[in-house]
A and B are shown apart, each in its own frame.
Chain A
Amino acid sequence: MRLAASFLIGLVFGVGIVISGMANPAKVLNFFDVAGAWDPSLIFVMGGALGVTFIGYRLVWRRRAPLFDSQFHIPARSDVDLRLIGGSALFGVGWGIAGFCPGGALPALGTGIADVFWFVGALIAGMLSTRAVITFAPIRTALQK
């Protein structure tokens, strides 16, 4: 049940992403190109997603626990640090270069287009190498002391 629900949730997300245009780099890049071929459609994606989530989350949180787990897993951090700001800025720059964000690219893998696989491969490489640096850099610094 838990895995069937997960699959279905992924499917609804994937269909939403491809209908919305978030999986289409031409559309995404035109959204950010206010000085050129501006296409404001993605404002409506954000509006639809946020409206439903804002209300839906509050309805779900009336429950004591989710259906298939004993507790909700909600990020507790609220500190704003340089890593958050710098990382988000870098993400934006990369999004503007490639036209894909992770949520746009993952469903697009299902089209079989080779460029999407190149993007996701590079995305995972970027994630893993950053994780490796974050994990091992403090250890190395500690060992050198």
Chain B
Amino acid sequence: MIATEFTPLTSLVGGALIGLATVGAMLALGRIMGATGILSGAVLPTSWRDWSWRAAMLLGMAVGPAAYLAVTGQWPAISIPISREMIVVGGFVVGVGVTLGGGCTSGHGVCGLARIARRSLIAVPVFMLGAAASVFVIRHVVGG
């Protein structure tokens, strides 16, 4: 377990930028900015027109850390206190879950809640509780 610093201001600014991008996607493309939907449409393309904006957006996302480096002079802090096996297991479970549930933190959590969508009002508390339960079991039941 790695202790992390409480960062209300930078987290608020980061969140506002996420919101800005989300509004931008609606303004420019009329699309929901959900990472699950954007990725799955990029992996299983239906047409060039639909694939190209997803690919451009994913490319932009991946440039994010380098842009952060250019401005601040350091790479963003990413510490992974988990084994590679757990990363792969977790990744697969997330992939199954977001496909069945039709969205993740960005799609349901930001776009869906902002739309006051009924499905998102259910999905968000369910996945938040799921994550809290998962962390509790791993850290305090199994690991404790």
User: 1/0 per position for A83-126, CB-CB distance to B under 8 A?
Assistant: 11111111111111111111111111111010110111111111
Verify A78–B119 contact, CB threshold 8 A.
Answer: yes
Contact of B35 among A65, A89, A106 (CB under 8 A): A106
Contact among B60, B96, B99, B100 for A6, CB-based, below 8 A: B60
CA distance A6 to B22 in the complex (A): 11
User: Which bucket holds chain A's interface residue count?
Assistant: 35 or more
Bound-state Cα–Cα, A68 to B92, Å:
34
Cα distance, A110 to B64, chains bound together (Å): 7
Q: Tell me what chain B mostly uses at the interface: helix, strand, loop, or mixed.
A: helix
Check B127–A95 contact: CB distance below 8 A. Answer: yes
A79 to nearest B CB, angstroms?
7
Whether A66 pairs with B131 at a CB distance below 8 angstroms is no
Q: Which of A5, A78, A123, A127 has the largest count of B CB atoms less than 10 A from its CB?
A: A123
Cβ–Cβ < 8 Å partners of B89 in chain A: 94, 97-98, 122
User: A49 near B19 (CB under 8 angstroms)?
Assistant: yes
Given contacts A49-B15, A56-B19, A126-B96, contact A73 B30 (CB under 8 A): yes
**Whole-angstrom distance between the Cβ of A113 and the nearest chain B Cβ:** 6
Who on chain B is nearest to A116 by CB? Answer: B78
Is the CB–CB distance between B135 and A32 below 8 Å?
Answer: yes
Q: Are B78 and A111 in contact (CB under 8 A)?
A: yes
CB pair B76 A130 closer than 8 Å: no
How far, in angstroms, from A63 to B58 measured CA to CA in the complex?
26
The interface residues of chain B lying within 8 Å CB-to-CB of A6 are: 28-29, 52-54, 56-57, 60
Q: Please tell me which one of the listed residues B40, B43, B96 contacts residue A87 in the complex, with CB atoms under 8 A apart.
A: B96
Asked whether A83 and B53 contact (CB < 8 A) given A11-B60, A37-B1, A44-B15, the answer is no
Residues of chain B within 8 A (CB-CB) of A105 are 91
Per-position binary interface string of chain A over residues 19-36, scored 1 when its CB falls under 8 Å from any chain B CB and 0 otherwise: 111111111011011111
Does B18 contact A57, Cβ atoms closer than 8 Å? Answer: no
- Report how far A3 CA is from B131 CA in the complex, Å: 35
Q: Is the CB of A13 within 8 A of B21?
A: yes
With A83-B100, A94-B97, A122-B95 known to touch, is A39 a contact of B4 (CB < 8 Å)?
Answer: yes
In contact, B58 and A24 (Cβ under 8 angstroms): no
**Interface: A50 (CB within 8 A):** yes
Could you tell me if A8 and B7 are in contact, using CB atoms closer than 8 angstroms?
Answer: no
What are 5 A-B interface contacts by the 8 Å CB criterion? Answer: A6-B28, A51-B19, A85-B122, A93-B133, A127-B39
Known A-B contacts: A13-B18, A29-B82, A115-B84. Give 7 more (CB < 8 A). A44-B12, A48-B18, A53-B23, A54-B114, A74-B30, A92-B127, A122-B91
